[in-house]
Each structure stands twice: as C-alpha cells, then as structure tokens.
Amino acid sequence: MILEEATMTEFTKHLRRTKTIIFPFGTVEEHGRHLPLHTDTLIVHEILKRVVKKRPVFLAPPVYYGVCTTTRKHPGTISVTPETLRRLTTDIVKDAFHKGLRNFILISGHGGGLHMSALREVAEILIEELDGIRIAVLSPYNILSKELSLLTDTPDDSHAGELETSLVISLAPRLVKGRSREEYPKLPKPFVVRDKLKYWRGGVWGNPAKATKEKGARSTSFTV
C-alpha cells in the first residue's frame, strides 16, 4: 500500500494484514550533467513501488534529503547534516511505531558513508528504546554489489556512471539529458579537503556512455 494515497480507514484495514513499512531515503544531489538531482530518490522509490504491488507492506513517501559530503559543493546538491537525518528518521519511525507498525525497513538509494551511518545509529538506538520493534537498514548497492557489478562493463563504476544511468534510462528515460563524459574523482585520500570540486569537476564516477536501457531493466529485476 502506498501510504500517502491511503485514507485512515484503509490504513487501519491494511494494518491488520501487515505491520511492515518501508521508508525510502534519497538525496537532492548532483549526478553529472545528464541525470536529475533526485536520481537516488527516483531509483529507489520507483523500484519499491513495484515491490509493494507484490508484497503486503506499507510504502512511505521518500525522504528526499540526505547527507552528501563529496558532492556537497557541486551545483544543485542540497545536503543535510547527519544530526538532522538522525532526528528526522527517529521521529518518523517512532510515530509510525505508535500507530501500530512494528517492522521497519530503511532503504537508501544513496550509499554515502555518513548518510548510512546516521541511519544505522537511529536503528541501534530505537531497538533499545522500543519493545517489539524490528528494524533493518540497507542500501541495495551494498547487498547486491556482486550481482550488479556483473551487469556493468566499467570496472570502478559508481556515482552517475554506467549503472545509475542505465537505471534512470529504464525507469524514467525522459529525465536523461545525453551523457556526461567518463570521469573518476581524484581526491587526495586519506586527506579531507574543502574544495572537492577541484578534484571532481564533473561529478561522475564511471562511464555513462556504456549505459543501456537493457542493463537498467536487468538491474531492477534483482530487487523486484
């Protein structure tokens, strides 16, 4: 059930069938010059809308804002702090718990380290505070990394590269504006630098030119 489309009567009726709700998380973040700023949100939300047609669960509206570090200085990226993400996530999970839900899946289309860490911190705190809660935190790119890597031809593919471009071509082709050139960040690890744009101008990690609709469709089949 799509949560925001339900009436309170429909919510109560569906709650008798399931106590499970999925919360999608994404970002407003640059994805090169060819993909939309809501790419992370778009991918995870569109795939989950297909999942709920086959599973008796609730699907909550996506949380569009996330923690962006490497892309924070790029045009269009609007980031929140880990504290903000933790507080927002805590509030919505707690209130959903008080409405009778017990099983929570926090699934993020954005796999940034601080972003995922913030979600996991919330889960660790809430399992201590709320009796009877079950909570999972995951990014599909982590749990399906081996399977997804077999679908791409780019060895070090990541942000706005071959896979993400293929997914958006498959899910929302009208939003793909050509292709950005192949690029990889040259950040001077292990140093943390302020001017990340200096080391990663185009905001692409991989080769979007190798993306195809077929690769995107095969990728979604792993999760639906």
Quote the domain boundaries for residue 23. Answer: 3-221
CA distance 115 to 6: 29
Nearest to 173 by CA among 35, 25, 31: 35
Residues whose CB falls within 8 Å of the CB of residue 115, separated by 6 or more in sequence, listed in order: 25, 27, 66, 67, 68, 82, 85, 108
Chain segment 148-187, per-residue pLDDT in tens: 888 899 998 999 999 999 999 999 999 999 999 999 999 9
Please report the pLDDT score of residue 126 as a whole number. Answer: 98
Percentage of the chain exceeding pLDDT 70? 99
Please report the pLDDT score of residue 222 as a whole number. Answer: 64
**What's the rounded mean pLDDT across residues 189-217?**
95
Q: Is the pLDDT of residue 224 over 70?
A: no
Chain segment 124-149, per-residue pLDDT in tens: 999 999 999 999 999 998 888 888 88
Chain segment 5-47, per-residue pLDDT in tens: 999 999 999 999 999 999 999 999 999 999 999 999 999 999 9
Chain segment 63-114, per-residue pLDDT in tens: 999 999 999 999 999 999 999 999 999 999 999 999 999 999 999 999 999 9
Give the domain CATH number at 216. 3.40.50.10310
Please report the pLDDT score of residue 86 as a whole number. Answer: 98
How many domains, in total, are found in the chain? 1
Exposed/middle/buried for 200, CB within 10 Å: 0-12, 13-18, 19+? Answer: buried
**What's the rounded mean pLDDT across residues 192-212?**
96
Please report the pLDDT score of residue 136 as a whole number. Answer: 98
Please report the pLDDT score of residue 25 as a whole number. Answer: 98
